[in-house]
Structure 1
Amino acid sequence: MREDNRSSALEFILLGVSRKQEQEDFFFILFLFIYPITLIGNLFITLAIRSDIRLHNPMYFLLANLSFVDIFFSSVTIPKMLANHLLGTKAISFGGCLTQMYFMIALGNTDSYILAAMAYNRAVAISHPLHYTTIMSPRTCVLLFVGSWVVGNVNALPQTLLTASLSFCGNQEVASFYCDITPLLKLSCSDIHFNVKMMYLRVAVFSVPLLCIIISYVKIFLHSPTTTLGGIPSTKDVLRVFSTCGSHLTVVSLYYGTIMGMYFRPLTSYSLKDAVITVMYIAVTPMLNPFIYSLRNRDMKAALGKLQQEHLHVSNGSSCTGDRSHQLK
């Protein structure tokens, strides 16, 4: 009982991206710039897909859900970081810390499995075009999305409960701007061997979607319409696939590149400079996703343009109505 009371009263200190005030000010301005763009960009993608009937297909359904998850993914950590900087405090409660950790693991896993589902969708579209609508039915799409959320939360729950059971004594400074499992384990004075094993299991579960993505793209290459002798894809085939799936491959590269920089290293090597990679993972990648997917996509550009025109039409209509009512008065 005393242990529970002590844990509930415990506070951690988030050291931030850097210990230097000038750099912290720079990252505050950076986050203040990135966060609204992330929210607006991903919200526009979601609304554009929902409002345009031409985009009511599996690929855009999964993209809309990816944007939906990215909004929450960024919102778990960035607002707290901005608020702490404005208030001149770096404290976070034990419960708040565990909540951050839980949602970061859950949403991160959900993101990765949605990316895998998008790769699978592309593989089916190229490998089995005649059976595409049957395989990627609305029911399948919903199952892929729900399954992504379930796996993400199932992976996050034991990690959070195990961390909650640890004892923390002495130094309570978290070497990051949010509560990540790696720096928290370093602060514990309990035996963390089992937690470390579970963390590596989490990384393994996290790697399953990457394996699925690789298998999907191998399938895409092998089922290209023109191949060289022996069934090996030609250079033109590879370039065509990269052109068609370039947006998805770019997002996957950014996402998993930063993850590998964060977690595929020994626990003892964690340092404050790893938080710079975390900035890419948490803030930059979710901000870039809407731009990457809409930059070379004509349908998405058209849908966004239509959404903007509708918004301007509604605004102008409201303005005209207001002017008329003012004249009547």
Structure 2
Amino acid sequence: MTITQYGWNENWNKKWQENGVGAEEKNYVPGRIVGDFGSKYRVITETGETWGELAGKLRHSLGASGDYPAIGDWVVLAMLDGGAHAVIHGLLPRQSVISRKAAGNPPEEQIVASNVDTLFLVSALNDDFNVRRMERYLIMAWNSGANPVILLTKADLCDDADSKIAEMERSAPGVPIYAVSALRGEGREELVPYIGSGQTVALTGSSGCGKSTMVNWLCGRNLQLTQDIREGDSRGRHTTTHRELFIMPDGGIIVDTPGMRELQLWEDEGGLELAFGDISELASSCRFNNCSHELEEGCAVLAAVSSGELEEKRLLNYRKTQRELRYQNTKENKAKRKTAAASAKASPSRSRGGWRKELDEY
């Protein structure tokens, strides 16, 4: 396997030339993180796979958790021991970043995957089917910079798949939606445009929705362990415990990620308005520009709810998520100010110029 098979192309080579200050003189080489195991990473280079870890100076310079390398990142490597080991000295600028809020306080960003072209949002067609939850995943997808595609798995277990697809379409206008069944081998041909050579796709969804099964199916071999869901509530157990890249027969690259019991959104880069585009469009006809869509006269959104054009539950979820993101943004800003103040106090003369400056220090 080479980096070309894992997505290295002219675009990334251009970024390497633009950002790889001093890389040629220091014999640095590009690589991609294909496995994230916490303190160590599996990386792919032009000569094959090897283990990598952060350089001491780079580790010391990193601040928030979102600054650390993640699955899918293109990194700057120094090869040691004839290629048996690598040291990571920096990251190339990310093309897309799929992230969520990590559990606990203070609020921190947890990167699910980076440099993903298409994000498959997976939901099972069983008792765990949840449109409101998918709306949250869509916000994460639109914020990431990747293109969202909804996969409704386990279609063989559903007698009314068409009605559930229609329900999902009403809450995800403009987003491609496919019902698939790995057991019956149904729906794979519709996914071919997303999994071609050099394209990176990631799977995300709640535990038990069938992500690992999808990885095995799309790759044509058993790469990931799978577990049966609980019969009582159709909920699953965490099968995938780490993040890893796999090559598919069509030439695409796929990322499986651990399932989520609850998706806590990190921040909003316009994803809320894109995920609820129908509400945003209706809001443009409200009498007041700052309409909150709650009690105002002349509110086009409330009128659409009254007429049945807009589902009330969708509006309620929009309001709830909007409040959550505002509150989250307040906490993030407070935490950033606190961290910046502590950093300035500890190192008043230190300046962080990004990874390019770090390279110059070696």
Query: TM-score band (shorter)?
Result: under 0.3
Point out which structure has higher relative CO (alpha carbons under 8 A, 6+ apart): 1
- Which structure has greater strand proportion? 2
Q: What TM-score do the two structures reach when normalised by structure 2?
A: 0.23
Q: What TM-score do the two structures reach when normalised by structure 1?
A: 0.25
